Amino acid sequence: MSRPRDTPRLEWLLGVLGLALLIAGVSYLAYQGLARPSKPGALVVTVIDIHSVGDAHVVKFSVRNDGSENLSHLHLSARLSDGDREIEAAQAFIDYLPARSEQRGGVYLRNDPRRYTLRIDPAGYMEP
């Protein structure tokens, strides 16, 4: 029973660090579980850039989830229009988009999106 005095300092240091990590982790998770209001995915889609690849155009976008629910199988639709006339449509899927996270993706379009109006909107998702 006289062991504790022999315990290496490194052991104490790591042990206390472990306890601190556990408390921090559990508190964070408990806070998220208890205090976080459940707010469905609030999505913000931002076009990052447009590249010409062969005879197609790739629109790279990022989508950020400002809600507090995690989304899976997120389906996004891109529409290219000229006034009321729809020129082209394309789709993209994001496997998982956790709360307060961002994912990137791209859509392929045959018409140059720089010449028309481009909209990328979330269409649907599944609860994981």
What is the spatial distance between Cα 53 and Cα 45, in angstroms, rounded to a whole number?
A: 22
For residue 4, state whether it binds another protein (rule: CB under 8 A): yes
Q: Which range, of 47-55, 81-89, 94-102, 105-113, touches another protein by CB under 8 A?
A: 94-102
Total residues contacting another protein by CB under 8 A comes to 36
Q: Which helix (H) or strand (E) holds 76?
A: strand 71-82
Q: How many CB atoms lie within 10 A of CB 63?
A: 22
What is the spatial distance between Cα 69 and Cα 128, in angstroms, rounded to a whole number?
A: 9
For residue 67, state whether it binds another protein (rule: CB under 8 A): no
Return the closest-CA partner of residue 90 out of 49, 44, 59, 52. Answer: 59
What is the spatial distance between Cα 61 and Cα 47, in angstroms, rounded to a whole number?
A: 4
For residue 44, state whether it binds another protein (rule: CB under 8 A): no
For residue 48, state whether it binds another protein (rule: CB under 8 A): no
Q: Which is nearer to another protein, 46 or 101 (CB)?
A: 101
Q: Which residues bind another protein (CB under 8 A)?
A: 1, 3-4, 6-12, 14-19, 21-22, 25-26, 28-30, 32-34, 36, 70, 72, 96, 98-102, 128
